[in-house]
Structure 1
Amino acid sequence: MTETAATASQRGVRLPRTERRAQLLAAAQRVFSANGYHAAAMDEIAEQAGVSKPVLYQHFPGKLDLYIALLESHVDELVGRVEGALASTTDNKQRVQAAVGAFFDFVNGDAGAFKMVFESDLRGEPAVQEAVDRATSASVNAITETITADAGLNEEKARLLAVGLVGMSQVSARFWLAHHSTMSREEAVDLTATLAWRGIGAGFPLQQQPPL
């Protein structure tokens, strides 16, 4: 069955609200990725999702609302990856490696997702800019908390280091994605994490060793 036929066969099927919302967001991702925001049409998104336009508008009053909801979901994914990386180990060297890896995995996942977060062409919209800023600020906050607790630095100094790590990881991951034909994800993460660790780990060692 073709995708069009498959989605068409879903019309009239009543889904729980959360499932329907996820279905609509997935359809919107495909359309926004293929056409960009300005050329994307709600008609096409409804068609991709296999629903009528009134159903689509019940969940999202307009295209911008849909775009922002999708963007927020991508930001939540990135922040969740970073927080999960920091919580995955108590070894700070491995934490840096995992945090850098979180950005590479996000960028290497759904290309449409990372482009919406890092390369959105709607930053003139306040709600879009707020969501984009949260991708960085929430990641920085999580790393700042870890550095403050483990390196014995005050919040201001820890935040500056966190901003550096986040910025390095974002830019390196995006560069790697565009030029990674001969470099594996593992090698790229190792190189970036090594650079970060030699600055953070060597310059600001763990103040209190974790209990054995």
Structure 2
Amino acid sequence: MSESLNHLLANLHAERLATWEPSAVQVNIEQRQRLVNEARVDDFAKAGDLLEPFTLLKVEGGSLSRDELLANGPAVLIFFRFAGCPACNITLPYYQRQLYPRLHALGVPLVAVSPQVPEKLVEIKTRHNLDLQVASDPDNRLGRRLGILYSFDEASRKAVLAKGKSIGETTGTGTWELPQPTVVVIAKDGTVAFAEVSPDWLVRTEAEPILHAIKQLLGQTALQLAI
């Protein structure tokens, strides 16, 4: 049985319960619950939407356009918060292990996307020696179009500032906006084939639903060759 991403994230939460001050844990829990309660589900990108051309910035330098990503078929985008996010440092290595090899065998690009500026974002790729691509979404442009952005509430802002930096300083964007963790599978024609948004950043999409969406696009035979 393959490992579960959400089991790994549950372990992170359990560790925090055991080691953090109760007030700090409560702020974290309340922020995540608020995002679930206030999620504008109708605004989220969904299957069938047309994704107009976009450009991301590769952390190694250079750009990555929608048309380049889709040149040979579908592509997968994984939106995450920023390079220092503990849950993201569990999630991206999980996708590297459980998703990247199978997608790579099919020639399907896998790109992890954050609004953090490339010179700050590159550290998560080097820290985990990721083969999957990591790219910056300048000014949250694509995230905004997908309807997946959120802003820190007052309690969360105070908690972050108490540690010395605003989230805008950490990301280099100068704002309190981040994307909610999101997976988007884009078909070759630019339409969204699969989209899942996780307002609670400790609950994220497992590898299997993503592979299933790719199977639907490429056919069962292609997927069997990659597994």
Taking structure 1 as the reference length, the TM-score comes to: 0.27
Higher relative contact order (CA 8 A, sep 6+): 2
TM-score norm. by structure 2 comes to 0.25
Task: Indicate the structure (1 or 2) with the bigger Cα radius of gyration.
Answer: 1
User: Hey, which of these two has a bigger chunk of strand by percent?
Assistant: 2
